[in-house]
Amino acid sequence: MSQQETHGFQTEVKQLLHLMIHSLYSNKEIFLRELVSNAADAADKLRYEALTNNDLYEGDGELRVRISADKDKGTVTIEDNGIGMTRDGVIEHLGTIAKSGTADFFKNLSGDESKDSQLIGQFGVGFYSAFIVADRVTVRTRAAGHNADEAVLWESAGEGDFTVETISKQTRGTEITLHLRDDEKEFADDYRLRSIITKYSDHISVPVEMFEAGTPAVEATEDSEAVPATEGSWKPMNKATALWTRNKSEVSDEEYQEFYKHISHDFADPLLWSHNRVEGKQEYTSLLYIPAKAPWDLWNRDRKHGLKLFVQRVFVMDDAEQFMPSYLRFVQGLIDSNDLPLNVSREILQDNKVTTALRTAVTKRVLGMLEKLAKNDAEKYQSFWTEFGQVLKEGPAEDFANKERVAGLLRFASTHTGEAKANVSLADYIERMKEGQSKIYYIVADSHEAAANSPHLEVLRKKDIEVLLMSERIDEWLINHLTEFDGKKLHSVTRGDLELGELEDAGEKEAQEKLQTESEGLVKRVKDSLGDKVSEVKVTTRLTDTPACVVAGEGEMSTQMIKLMQAAGQ
């Protein structure tokens, strides 16, 4: 119609397109999952907007997605009657990547295609995956509530740029046509499409339909009339009921896994999940997933996280972070509440009794999932710990009420195993404590090597007392908030007094006193020459091989904490 404009893709989109085409060749069919997923999201968004403005339905409230192919032209079309996009929306959503940290993500790719393809999977390829199989993509879309002549035509060959043009489109929603590459024409086959769609869309809550040809005409016989040929009709390929509303026993593992991929944009299967319907004082359903791998932006402060929120099965918002404490920000999934109002906003959620109750319940549920995993499948738990342990360590500081439970889930390296692998729990430690030992000993150092070889360990080693070896950045922070577990104090071996209690034998005390008097002259000389640099010089029996070491006084900041504060610019 008019006003055709050419726009360049954002640099990161160009990089994504290039990488995707070259690295996702073994997983081509995922374009269909991404596009159907977007169409279903568009239906969800319209349903939500229409709650307050029923006119948006324009008399057509039967939301669905339709997929068709044209073998001769070599095209596949995915069409929805969801929320649609405006011209500005198209330019923004189909020309840029909205995720924060995207530029950094691309900077960090290795250039090794097989490695990068893994990362691309975690990043989420979304709409742009259309170009895995197409060398030209045409989008026609009209936003709900806009006039027919305010529709947009977007087109691109997936190289540097795309065009947009204002057109007329009677029906609301989005129609995406893929012009398949010569060697991808197999996708323009009804049978092939059908098999992919059944695999990817059973959990989708709107019908995903394909056209089925009518039955052929039946000739009239002597005793029956002729049956006219039917035109055929659109038939749903999926169950089209929201997966979490179904009974657990009726949902297969594959369906749970597919649903996870739909909501998380992850390519890999989740590590575990838990689906629960709760009735009584609160009424809600939760479906929570623990991913197998940490997302690329787990440490990005602006990363969106949280659960999808539904109210009485209507989608309300993505990334409702109010339901999950930050130290569980890796959890994916949804919550469907019967107690929140449908018009709930983020502001209302902030300060709401129902939210608090749900958050408490969901947090407990996740901790329960992890406890169960730790108990039943140590190996799987270990792989969880490797991916998310550092995040979980924020828990004791953040979640006072669940401090003990979170502490129970922590894993550390220890002098007992002699390995760098963090696989010792506080409970394991306590079980191995020596007769008369009342404290849990630990050391925090810059590296595992430094911790394991610290002279501070010597005396404990001599007495065969286990020490937890900590060397992650977060550990000092953790240990400041976790001072006790199961009634036992955590005690740093670098602190002034080791408080070995009953483990210290009487002879030792005498020997120390004797040494003390004998060494007075030496101690004075050392003190004089160090001057203000130290507050005290003491004779110690805690070292066996090393002549001297620096310790922090009781109640003073540890050397690690000082380093941490310095690094933070304080």
Residue 159 CA to residue 522 CA, distance in Å, equals 77
Residues contributing to the annotated binding site for ATP: 34, 38, 80, 85, 99-101, 122-127, 174, 346
Which strands make up the sheet holding 307-311, listed edge to edge?
272-278, 284-290, 332-337, 307-311, 314-320
> Which one of ligand ADP, Mg ion, none is in contact with 85 (Cβ closer than 5 to 8 A by kind)?
ligand ADP
- Strand, helix or coil for residue 412: strand
Give the one residue of 13, 19, 36, 83 binding ligand ADP; rule: CB under 6 A.
83
Q: Which residue lies nearer to Mg ion by CB, 38 or 390?
A: 38
Give the one residue of 82, 158, 291, 395 binding ligand ADP; rule: CB under 6 A.
82
Q: Which residue lies nearer to Mg ion by CB, 14 or 93?
A: 93
Q: How far is the CB of 133 from ligand ADP (least distance, A)?
A: 15
Residue 281 dihedral angles phi and psi, to the nearest 5°: -60, -45
Residues contributing to the annotated binding site: 34, 38, 80, 85, 99-101, 122-127, 174, 346
- Which of 481, 479, 503, 501 minimizes the C-alpha distance to 491? 479
Q: Which residue lies nearer to ligand ADP by CB, 165 or 319?
A: 319
Q: How far is the CB of 82 from ligand ADP (least distance, A)?
A: 5
Is the four-CA dihedral 121, 267, 122, 317 of positive or negative sign? positive
Q: Which part of the chain contacts ligand ADP (CB under 6 A), choosing from 81-89, 202-210, 267-275, 440-448?
A: 81-89
Binders of ligand ADP among residues 258 to 287 (CB under 6 A) are 265
Q: Which part of the chain contacts ligand ADP (CB under 6 A), choosing from 32-40, 211-219, 336-344, 354-362?
A: 32-40
Q: Is there binding between residue 477 and ligand ADP (CB under 6 A)? A: no
Binding track, positions 120-149, relative to Mg ion; x by CB under 5 A? ------x-----------------------
Q: Are 60 and 86 in contact (CB under 8 A)?
A: no
Q: Are 277 and 242 in contact (CB under 8 A)?
A: no
Burial of 434 (0-12, 13-18, 19+ CB in 10 A): middle
Record the tokens describing residue 246, joined without a space. Answer: 């179904």
Helix (H) or strand (E) holding 165: strand 161-167
Output b/e per residue, 320-352; b: 16+ Cβ within 10 A: bebbbbebbbbbbbbbbbebbeeebeeeebeeb
Binding track, positions 37-56, relative to Mg ion; x by CB under 5 A? -x------------------
Record the tokens describing residue 561, joined without a space. Answer: 């904490």
Binding track, positions 84-123, relative to ligand ADP; x by CB under 6 A? xx-------xx-----------------------------
> Which one of ligand ADP, Mg ion, none is in contact with 174 (Cβ closer than 5 to 8 A by kind)?
ligand ADP
Q: Which residue lies nearer to ligand ADP by CB, 78 or 243?
A: 78
Q: How far is the CB of 65 from ligand ADP (least distance, A)?
A: 8
Give the one residue of 13, 24, 32, 34 binding ligand ADP; rule: CB under 6 A.
34
Q: Are 67 and 210 in contact (CB under 8 A)?
A: yes
CB atoms within 10 A of CB 54: 10
- Which of 85, 92, 91 minimizes the C-alpha distance to 141? 85
The contact set with ligand ADP (CB under 6 A) reads: 34, 38-39, 41-42, 80, 82-85, 93-94, 124, 126-127, 174, 265
